[in-house]
Structure 1
């Protein structure tokens, strides 16, 4: 039996099985009183059964009693601590308390109390009997303490990160990978300490031995290491934020960044699919970030409309009089004619503030009209570049380019504004005597056949019946009702 009187000699009979004994003093007055009380309870249980001389049974019964006491103490302590935190936590820590509570930090922290109570009280059995069972109970309890400590530290890191992310990380930097790294470091340290407890060795000795496995560890954690490096570079260069719209060249990734972790960048594409790419690929490769465009609240329109080169004609007095009736054009033509009469040819950087354009061709007049129309539109940004121009002629015609920025960067309004610009452009071409280029269609073939005086029987692929004004011209034409 473990006699109370032998506890005072604990230091002379201390077991070498557990590394934690040097840090715990089981003969402290308060702990001694509790242990003595529990030992009396064990003695009173075993004596009537005649088992007081069996050290193994005594250890098991004592451990069971200590376990029940530890559970009771832990429950009471948890009730007191959590109650106090609910009452004063938000007043003291503010929003941080809420994030720590969401991570169950305080509950996980309280789970250490029963283990610590058990660890302290079980030492009395260990130091007085050198019992192997008590030594292993101590080791298992230490492993549990290490595990719960790891859970609490991970919850602390998570809660602090959420607090920082919600209040101070206004730029939404991709720091989630660094948080995951900290959590990984916590568990690596916990694993090393746990192995040291099981092997009854110093954690420093184990760490020194890890040097031989450095190459293997680098291969195993290659993606994590590269992810950390990439996360630091992206944060330092301010290249990527959560919520940014990015497009990764050479891939189908084109959407909003949802999450940046150690091993992947999660992108929600516009077609509602999800793409995950390694963070390091963003650093080693290239990607387009549209954040600056969104922050400027403008978005570029750069599109061309092909005009048939045969429709471009020099202006005539009759044409000028007709075009004068269009919006913006009367004053423009009058001023340009006056400048021309005065010998001033200012088609570029006009001293009178006129837009770029000429009165020599219908295309030059149309360029001036479209520029003035864009300048007058409330949906076009007037602080960004805006011009119209012609591109090098192709076999399809002369590309007429519109280059401007909308007054919004939102997707749907941008598309609507761009449609409005080119719908107006296409409807105004005929007013300037211009024609848009179109590839020949079936309708063009039929018209050419009519012009050539051919009947539909000579037009390959024309369906029957074929309508004609004069049935005599084509014997296979459908006769008109008469």
Structure 2
């Protein structure tokens, strides 16, 4: 009689599997097609896995509910079947939840490519919790104990678990802090000299962060290092209105002097300076009896920046003197480029300083340069 019931159970299980694979799996897959819309090609693998795991749950649910009637006269065998079916159910429920996380992660990464949320790390945290919950449920089923009882007994293993899962626990805490405080996300440009990282973040996972450096090498940083150590994130610059230009021209102090009338008239002959010299500010400066060539050049440099279409006029802009030292008097250009693209930024900065260096001699100024090259003793 038992053999007949077992054969009937196997037949029912086989029939349920066939029905699930033929009807339920395509139905779930079709439903998931509606969820991800235009991303079907990108999520095909995750979608099929999720549908397959969900389809496996139906036979387990039906057999768990009907095992009591099938094997009511064989309690020992019924208990063994119940045990196997519950373990089967927990395993595929856990796999289905993990597949759902992968499915959602793929959709999110495709829809929001500029996300500031480290979703890979959060996904790994959820999958780790999924694994822990399923493991506890399976152990409690095998031992015939409540999951609460097992959790209370984990206290004795805390030290061992902390040692074994040290990196995972540190990564988990770091991932939560990174996500909560929005410290770093995929696409951010970060600098971390301690690990030789200087480039764009391409992946924020549970235990590691991958950075693609500007030479296309990949640097892997422990996630918790972003919490315990310092690093520079250039996201603020990328989200602001400009990228800073901060560079000084070292003026030879011996070339600084007062301009006489002849030198002022000579300046007017240079066509490159005429747009500046005809302004009201320049006219007022030229009327001053003790005007230095450095002051006039400083005002010219500021005027040039103010009329440069590539400079953000709504951010800090100034030309200032720094403390003189053994290499002359530094005259610092401080402004912000409106274009933040690296190549364009370097081009704008180069053009500004090429113009300033070229016009320095017109003001009878010279830069400090160590002896060498074309200079002679």
Normalised-by-shorter TM-score class: 0.7 to 0.9
1:283 aligns with 2:227: yes
CA contact (8 A) 2:195 2:221 kept: no
Partners of 1:194 and 1:113 in 2: how far apart? 19
Show the counterpart of 1:335: 284
CA contact (8 A) 2:195 2:219 kept: no
Counterpart of 2:176 (choices 232, 243, 248) is: 232
Q: Any idea what SS the aligned residue of 1:111 has?
A: helix
Partners of 1:329 and 1:72 in 2: how far apart? 94
Give the drift of 1:371: 1.1
Counterpart of 2:204 (choices 252, 260, 268) is: 260
**Structure 1 residues 425, 337: closer, same or farther in 2, change over 3 A?**
closer
Partners of 1:178 and 1:111 in 2: how far apart? 27
Partners of 2:170 and 2:188 in 1: how far apart? 22
Show the counterpart of 1:413: 344
CA contact (8 A) 2:311 2:335 kept: yes
Give the drift of 1:393: 1.9
- Larger CA deviation: 372-381 vs 69-78: 69-78
Show the counterpart of 2:318: 387
Counterpart of 2:264 (choices 305, 320, 323) is: 320
CA contact (8 A) 2:241 2:312 kept: no
Q: Any idea what SS the aligned residue of 1:186 has?
A: helix
Q: Any idea what SS the aligned residue of 1:427 has?
A: helix
Give the drift of 1:307: 2.3
**Structure 1 residues 207, 135: closer, same or farther in 2, change over 3 A?**
same
Counterpart of 1:81 (choices 16, 24, 33) is: 24
CA contact (8 A) 2:246 2:333 kept: yes
Partners of 2:161 and 2:38 in 1: how far apart? 35
Give the drift of 1:87: 5.0
CA contact (8 A) 1:249 1:286 kept: no
In the comparison of the two structures, how many residue pairs are matched? Answer: 369
Matches within 5 A, 1:440-459: 440-441=371-372, 443-444=374-375, 447-448=376-377
- Larger CA deviation: 120-129 vs 104-113: 120-129
Show the counterpart of 1:72: 15
Unaligned runs of 5+ in 1: 3-57, 342-358, 449-482
Give the drift of 1:197: 2.6
Counterpart of 1:200 (choices 97, 120, 144) is: 144
**Structure 1 residues 97, 74: closer, same or farther in 2, change over 3 A?**
farther
Q: Does 1 or 2 have the higher relative contact order (CA < 8 Å, sep 6+)?
A: 2
Q: Any idea what SS the aligned residue of 2:203 has?
A: strand
Superposition RMSD in Å? 3.0
Show the counterpart of 2:92: 148
Q: Any idea what SS the aligned residue of 1:276 has?
A: strand
Give the drift of 1:117: 4.8
Give the drift of 1:413: 0.3
CA contact (8 A) 2:337 2:348 kept: yes
Q: Deviations for 1:371-391, whole angstroms, at most 9, x for unmatched residues?
A: 111111111111111111222
Matches within 5 A, 1:203-222: 203-222=147-166
1:174 aligns with 2:133: no
Give the drift of 1:102: 3.1
Give the drift of 1:272: 1.3
**Structure 1 residues 361, 97: closer, same or farther in 2, change over 3 A?**
closer
Partners of 1:144 and 1:370 in 2: how far apart? 76
Give the drift of 1:223: 2.7
CA contact (8 A) 2:245 2:334 kept: yes
1:310 aligns with 2:254: yes
TM-score in terms of structure 2 length: 0.85
Partners of 2:28 and 2:84 in 1: how far apart? 30
Q: Any idea what SS the aligned residue of 1:228 has?
A: helix
- Larger CA deviation: 190-199 vs 229-238: 229-238
Show the counterpart of 1:432: 363
CA contact (8 A) 1:96 1:163 kept: no
Show the counterpart of 2:308: 377
